A = this chain, B = another copy of it.
């Protein structure tokens, strides 16, 4: 059986960055830009007023005050029609083009109308260029404004909009299909009869995928019937990643491995030295140049949750072209002593005693089928294999939930 590290290395080898795709800019936040984006405009397209006020000839204000003739009112969205000469001014609004002749803007708070078309100005330090943003000083036509590889934030959506781009080429969010398998599963809205349980892993995985910046595609429940599994797995393989919940332990009706093999999915590993989550299965399908990664997660809800956070989240990040560590890992200090017993490395739920100081205490924990107890967990502590006594103050790796 391989170790967690070996499993992660295998995922790293097989999860390559997805090909670029055009997506709506608003859907591209968090994605890596896959093209250099150039401006199609000069911005500002003209020398622009940075303030509401009066466009003036700076030389008129050499003595810090003047009375000027107002020759025009230029609102945002309109263009000046007159040239401003000495002793003249044009009233102007923020964003409007500076009229010819003017070389500075005096803000309205420093002015006072003293007649129908005459303004008195008291304003020190008015020099050429004051309160004017020169043409093309923000964006120059043809110049690259965003380079390939940039991770897009809301700010960059604004920049893309400025240069006319409501769609853009990015490394897209991975599409992750979820298929819950097992005759024992009923939908969340149903009351489970004898021997049945609700499909809680499906919705939980969908929420985990969204939180990991993947796009979940829920294929629902497949019974342990070859025909149904075959059809739904075929649909799931159209995604970038197919996550199967259940069906990968050594049980009698676990048809999943044979159906995957029929679909040309090749096993990369099965079982990892890990508790909970040992039965995890990972494989890959490459058909006509299209690659799909396949994870088989244990049906047990806690195992499913942990395997997703450790392994599937990493694969989603790699497909999206991210290189930073996808694990929200933290070194924490035990707030109280703990005896850990187990022959496998174990992820054990814990709560923050003091989140800022990174001190944590293990929770009372009935075992891996006990999802409800996890609501109290802030993180998982990663205890190494072997029985060992830990003391308060010991440092241990943690995975923040």
A50 contact from B166, B203, B367, B374, Cβ within 8 A: B367
- For residue A268, CB closer than 8 A to chain B, the reply is no
Contacting B at CB under 8 A, from A368-387, are 368-375, 377
- For residue A75, CB closer than 8 A to chain B, the reply is yes
Of A29, A75, A368, most buried by chain B (CB within 10 Å of CB) is A75
- For residue A23, CB closer than 8 A to chain B, the reply is no
**Chain B neighbourhood of A108, CB < 8 A:** 250
Once the chains bind, are A188 and B165 in contact (CB under 8 Å)? Answer: yes
Given contacts A78-B183, A138-B369, A162-B372, 19 further A-B contacts (CB under 8 A): A25-B203, A26-B210, A40-B191, A41-B198, A46-B194, A75-B183, A76-B183, A137-B370, A138-B366, A138-B370, A145-B375, A146-B375, A154-B207, A154-B208, A154-B305, A155-B374, A158-B201, A158-B203, A161-B199
Which partner residue on chain B sits nearest A145 by CB separation? B372
- For residue A93, CB closer than 8 A to chain B, the reply is yes
A-side interface residues toward B, CB under 8 Å? 25-26, 29, 39-41, 43-46, 48, 50, 52, 73, 75-79, 91, 93-97, 108, 133, 137-139, 145-146, 150, 153-162, 164-166, 182-185, 188-192, 194-208, 210-211, 224, 249-253, 299-301, 305, 366-375, 377, 401
Which partner residue on chain B sits nearest A349 by CB separation? B155
**Chain B neighbourhood of A159, CB < 8 A:** 200, 371-372, 374-375
Once the chains bind, are A198 and B366 in contact (CB under 8 Å)? Answer: no
Once the chains bind, are A29 and B211 in contact (CB under 8 Å)? Answer: yes
Of A191, A253, A372, most buried by chain B (CB within 10 Å of CB) is A372
A401 contact from B153, B369, B373, Cβ within 8 A: B153
Task: Known A159-B374, A211-B154, A250-B108; judge A299-B95 contact (CB<8 A).
Answer: yes
Report Cα–Cα, A370/B133, bound state, in Å. 9
Task: Known A138-B370, A158-B371; judge A195-B50 contact (CB<8 A).
Answer: no
Once the chains bind, are A251 and B194 in contact (CB under 8 Å)? Answer: no
Once the chains bind, are A91 and B366 in contact (CB under 8 Å)? Answer: no
**Chain B neighbourhood of A191, CB < 8 A:** 40-41, 164
**Chain B neighbourhood of A165, CB < 8 A:** 188
A73 to chain B, nearest CB (A): 7
A91 contact from B52, B188, B197, B252, Cβ within 8 A: B252
Which partner residue on chain B sits nearest A203 by CB separation? B161
Report Cα–Cα, A150/B370, bound state, in Å. 18
Report Cα–Cα, A39/B200, bound state, in Å. 13
A241 to chain B, nearest CB (A): 16
Task: Known A29-B210, A76-B182; judge A197-B155 contact (CB<8 A).
Answer: no
**Chain B neighbourhood of A43, CB < 8 A:** 197, 372
Once the chains bind, are A195 and B77 in contact (CB under 8 Å)? Answer: yes
Report Cα–Cα, A387/B224, bound state, in Å. 73
Of A41, A160, A189, A251, most buried by chain B (CB within 10 Å of CB) is A251
Once the chains bind, are A305 and B155 in contact (CB under 8 Å)? Answer: yes
Once the chains bind, are B26 and A203 in contact (CB under 8 Å)? Answer: yes
**Chain B neighbourhood of A299, CB < 8 A:** 76, 94-95
A251 contact from B94, B97, B300, Cβ within 8 A: B94
**Chain B neighbourhood of A26, CB < 8 A:** 203, 206-207, 210
Report Cα–Cα, A11/B249, bound state, in Å. 54
